[in-house]
Amino acid sequence: MLTQAAALVDEGGIVLDLGSGTGSTARAFRACGREQLLWRFFDNDPELLDIAGSQFAQAELVVGNLADVDALMLDGVALVTASALLDLMPRDWVTALGKRLRQEGIPFYAALSYDGKMRWTPPLPQDKAVTAHFNLHQCSDKGIGGALGPESGAQSAEVLRGLGFDVKLADSPWTLGTDQAALHAELLDGIGTAATEAGLPEGTEWAKTRRAMVKNSQAMIGHTDLLALPS
């Protein structure tokens, strides 16, 4: 799906990346051979934008709040992208964005939205409860309203299809192996804390136990990619 999204933009075309962070979407496009795109990175964190800008010299850096969809600069934009963002956003936000993109005839590629599924090898009895509570936490308000969380792929597809987009969804699981123990351990802390905050006191202890076995564990964190084409 990444290749299909990347093919929608001509060399030198402008891509607006929402919630760009340090520019991981652009790095993924570059890794699939698209090095000559003009990136417009949009985020509310100027420090992350500076890092993105240091890696893409021609990029435009825009500090702003995604809440104001009407203020997004879409002039000259051939494609709007987002990575690991849709699950943080409310359904109303996706509707507002979809309406603007539909009006302008701009396609939308949203990669790596968390889909609510997590699995570890070897398993622990608390994995299911932690996942359920983490998923609850994912639906909390991240600043713009109740987030879609694990439903973000399916619900965004429904919204965008309703607005007349041709929408494709694809599973895009993220696997953390024994060679990514440090990243895995960091992730476990975040999951445990979120599960605890969502009402599972054992979440913190679970993270500690899993951290102790991280060098011999694997994790699968389910994600969905979405491509919406204005028909």
User: What residues line the site for ligand SAM (CB under 6 A)?
Assistant: 19-21, 24-25, 43-45, 48, 65-67, 83-85, 88, 143-144
Nearest-approach distance from CB 133 to ligand SAM, in angstroms:
19
108-121/218-230 β-pairing:
antiparallel
Nearest-approach distance from CB 80 to ligand SAM, in angstroms:
13
Q: Which residues neighbour 85 within 8 Å (Cβ) at sequence distance 6 or greater?
A: 18, 19, 110, 113
For ligand SAM, give the closer residue by CB, 126 or 151: 151
For ligand SAM, give the closer residue by CB, 19 or 203: 19
d(CA 146, CA 138): 9
Q: Give how far Cα 62 sits from Cα of 39, 40, 52, 99, 126, Å.
A: 10, 7, 11, 21, 42
Q: For residue 17, give the 3-state DSSP assignment.
A: strand
Burial class (CB in 10 A: 0-12, 13-18, 19+), 175: exposed
Nearest-approach distance from CB 152 to ligand SAM, in angstroms:
12
d(CA 10, CA 162): 28
Nearest-approach distance from CB 30 to ligand SAM, in angstroms:
14
For ligand SAM, give the closer residue by CB, 9 or 52: 52
How many CB atoms neighbour CB 61 within 10 A?
18
For ligand SAM, give the closer residue by CB, 84 or 154: 84
Tokens of 100: 């603007």
Nearest-approach distance from CB 66 to ligand SAM, in angstroms:
4
Dihedral, CA of residue 24, residue 38, residue 45 and residue 80, to nearest 10: -80
For ligand SAM, give the closer residue by CB, 28 or 129: 28
Nearest-approach distance from CB 55 to ligand SAM, in angstroms:
12
How many CB atoms neighbour CB 28 within 10 A?
17
For ligand SAM, give the closer residue by CB, 44 or 204: 44
Neighbouring-strand partners of residue 229: 166
